[in-house]
Amino acid sequence: MSRILLIGSGGRESAIAYKLRQSPKLSSLHVFPGNGGFPESELLPAGAFDLKKKSSVQEFVKRNGYDLVVVGPEDPLVDGICDWLSEIGVPTFGPSAYCAQVEGSKEFAKSLMKQAKVPTAKYESFSDHTKALDYVRKEGVPIVIKADGLAAGKGVTVCFHLSDAEVALKEIFLDKKFGESGSKVVIEEFMAGQEASVFAISDGTDYFTLPAAQDHKRAFDGDLGPNTGGMGAYCPAPIVTEKVLEKVKRSIFDPMFEIFRRQGHPYKGLLYAGLMIDSQGEPKVVEFNCRFGDPETQCVLPMLEGDLVEIFTASAKGRLSETQASVGKGASTVVVLAAKGYPESYAKNIPLELPQTDSKDVVVFHAGTSKKDGNLISTGGRILGISARGSDLKDSVSKAYAYLSKLNVPDTFYRKDIAGKAL
């Protein structure tokens, strides 16, 4: 039996908790900081410990005798929380700080891919505005410009005209739009194709993949509007056929896990490959993340029929070969309900009244919610994820939207075309 501490507060952590609770091996679950969808009994008090401080995290975890810590978001992973907990002998689901650089630094990820011969866009990095401009003029468009460091996905401009690239470089170098991360840019070859997200869970030696998902990053229908954290997702993504998945394993995951091992830092936890798949079915890496994707997790995990407590524990302890991770039939879709204005400034404290779901296939995952005097209110831009499993994609999409049509929350919006391209 396991006492588990889950770190995080988003829709992703709500989906992880939902799956952990299904395990007969779970004796108790605590979450920090959590959100308004978690029962009071699972929520730790605000300020229970300081996530940024090694001694505070170690002391709290030791005192509470957790058997396993599960880390949702990237920041604590990049800070080294798994190393801190490994020092005190507490199994933790997630990669070390060294391995988490695969998300924390584009330069690290790119150089590792080069060494491991993993297919990705050709790139150069520059810390000089004029040299960057010369390079763009020499290479021509389309071309992709990325502010290095953690610009939260907002530092990427796909340029179809030379003038777009000139503006992007000016904003980064002269206007310092991304602050310090603007002191360096990565300029990448443009990759054409369709995007998909594939998650692999590893214990340092063995790994398995979960069904591929497709995210919808733009705010509005028809892939219009600004980039967001993700407005909805579905899985399995038909673009990732068995043949494509085999290529993803052989040309991407195998060499990545191998190079981490060779460097003396076996990768444990989840490795997220953001892929571009061209018209020939050849996958290339757009980016790696060192954690589950959000909102992809809210549609991927409901498909999993294995025991998540067992899987996370096996990953942390190097025993993945002893576990089973079967995946259910059918498909799954999640649609995000966002606050009006998101991803720019948005309404907050919207009162939420949520109708009951009338099917066990439909789950409402909370993200930016909180309880105030016993009442549920919105606190974030992405408020809820309505997730539905179905016999096929069409069925899952219609179940998710059937629930949304019963919802009557002012000052919110959601995309009406999630999974539309695959139907």
Residue number with CB closer to ligand AMP (120 or 369): 120
Of 111-119, 259-267, 293-301, 354-362, the window that binds ligand GLY (rule: CB under 6 A) is: 293-301
Residue number with CB closer to ligand AMP (81 or 186): 186
Of 24-32, 84-92, 154-162, 287-295, the window that binds ligand GLY (rule: CB under 6 A) is: 287-295
Of 37-45, 63-71, 187-195, 375-383, the window that binds ligand AMP (rule: CB under 6 A) is: 187-195
Residue number with CB closer to ligand AMP (223 or 411): 223
Of 72-80, 189-197, 294-302, 381-389, the window that binds ligand AMP (rule: CB under 6 A) is: 189-197
Binding mask 226-245 for ligand GLY (x = CB under 6 A): ----x---------------
Binding mask 268-297 for ligand AMP (x = CB under 6 A): ------x-----------xx----------
Residue number with CB closer to ligand AMP (12 or 268): 12
Minimum Å gap between C-beta 216 and ligand AMP is 11
Question: Distance between CA atoms of 146 and 174, rounded to whole angstroms?
Answer: 15
Residue 146 bridge partners (DSSP)? 156, 186
302 contacts ligand GLY (rule: CB under 6 A)? no
Ranges within 91-150 binding ligand AMP (CB under 6 A): 121, 144, 146
Q: Which does 223 bind (CB under 5 to 8 A by kind): ligand GLY, ligand AMP, none?
A: none
Pick from 59, 75, 195, 411 the residue near ligand AMP by CB under 6 A. Answer: 195
303 touches 329 (CB < 8 A): no
Minimum Å gap between C-beta 311 and ligand GLY is 20
Minimum Å gap between C-beta 311 and ligand AMP is 26
Residue number with CB closer to ligand GLY (73 or 182): 73
Minimum Å gap between C-beta 104 and ligand AMP is 13
Tokens of 364: 């409402």
Residue number with CB closer to ligand AMP (270 or 376): 270
Q: How far is CA 133 from CA 139, 160, 169, 404, in A?
A: 10, 15, 7, 47
Residue number with CB closer to ligand GLY (30 or 110): 110
Q: Which residues bind ligand AMP (CB under 6 A)?
A: 121, 144, 146, 153, 156, 158, 188, 190-191, 195, 217, 274, 286-287
Q: Which residues bind ligand GLY (CB under 6 A)?
A: 215, 230, 289, 293-294, 296
